[in-house]
């Protein structure tokens, strides 16, 4: 079976049905192959497909209480199992963010990329860098984006410093310290050193 053709048909069926998935039987019919042959192909190429069980839904009447007052409401609940659906087809494992191949590609491609954060309070007050921490993010940024090693390398250029940003007004202001603030001049220096970063909004007048 041809992956580009499978991807083309899955994308078109999703568009035609206005669904986030394409069911295995429907795709098999389009491809003029048996459901079992198609299913086996998907199982043999797990890095090229993202699949999940699909359900129809129905409204279920429920009763709730707010401040002692009961009222009737509805919840959306699962109804019928529609079977396995293909949600995404990838031409290469490198296109699938769930694979090691994708992660290795990000580490290589983004080796000189750093994400710059904006401190925004009624306009951008300044810029800073945060080291990505391990989290439940599906893209695993802590392994390839703002790593401690990258921040250390940028710090060696002499462009990072501790900074403080403020929110609120006189009498009720809050202090927001950051470990790795960077100025517009610092951004220009890291750019000259070969680094790339995300597009940023300009600092408002009076910012840092």
Among 59, 92, 125, the domain-final residue is 92
Give the percent of the chain with pLDDT over 70: 99
How much is the pLDDT for 207? 61
Work out the pLDDT band at 173, boundaries 50, 70, 90: confident
Number of domains in the chain: 2
Residue at token pair 């090693």: 149
Parallel, antiparallel or unpaired: strands 22-23 and 69-89:
antiparallel
pLDDT band at 68 (very low <50, low <70, confident <90, very high): confident
Is pLDDT above 90 for 169?
Answer: no
Residue 22 reports pLDDT greater than 80: yes
For residue 170, the model assigns a pLDDT of: 74
| 75 and 150 part of one domain | no
pLDDT given at position 206: 64
Average pLDDT in the chain: 95
In a domain, 117, yes or no: yes
pLDDT: which is higher, 141 or 207 = 141
Closest CA to 198 of 152, 137, 140, 130: 130
- Which range of residues forms the domain containing residue 12? 3-92
How much is the pLDDT for 208? 58
Q: Which of 2-11, 72-81, 114-123, 162-171 comes out lowest in average pLDDT?
A: 162-171
Asked whether residue 133 is assigned to any structural domain, the reply reads: yes
Strand arrangement of the beta sheet that strand 117-120 belongs to: 117-120, 124-128, 174-182, 160-167
Asked which of 92, 119, 141 is the last residue of a domain, the reply is 92
105 found inside a domain = no
Q: Could you give the maximum distance between any two Cα atoms of the chain, in Å? A: 72
User: Span 40-67, mean pLDDT?
Assistant: 95
Q: Locate 114 and state its tokens.
A: 């750093």
Reply yes or no on whether the pLDDT at 151 is more than 70. yes
């Amino acid at each position: 079976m041809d992956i580009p053709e499978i991807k083309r048909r899955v994308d078109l069926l999703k568009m035609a049905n206005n669904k986030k998935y394409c069911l295995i039987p429907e795709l098999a019919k389009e491809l003029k192959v048996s459901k079992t042959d198609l299913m086996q192909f998907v199982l043999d190429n797990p890095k090229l497909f993202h699949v999940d069980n699909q359900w129809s839904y129905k409204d279920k009447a429920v009763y709730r209480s707010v401040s002692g007052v009961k009222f009737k409401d509805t919840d959306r609940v699962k109804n019928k199992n529609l079977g396995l659906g293909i949600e995404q087809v990838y031409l290469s494992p490198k296109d699938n963010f769930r694979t090691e191949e994708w992660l290795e590609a990000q580490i290589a491609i983004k080796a000189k990329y750093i994400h710059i954060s904006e401190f925004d309070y009624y306009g951008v007050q300044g810029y800073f860098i945060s080291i990505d921490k391990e989290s439940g993010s599906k893209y695993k940024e802590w392994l390839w984006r703002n790593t401690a090693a990258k921040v250390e390398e940028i710090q060696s250029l002499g462009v990072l410093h501790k900074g403080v940003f403020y929110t609120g007004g006189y009498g009720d202001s809050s202090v927001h310290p950051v470990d790795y603030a960077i100025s517009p001049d610092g951004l220009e220096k890291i750019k000259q050193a070969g680094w790339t970063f995300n597009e940023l909004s300009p600092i408002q007048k009076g910012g840092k």
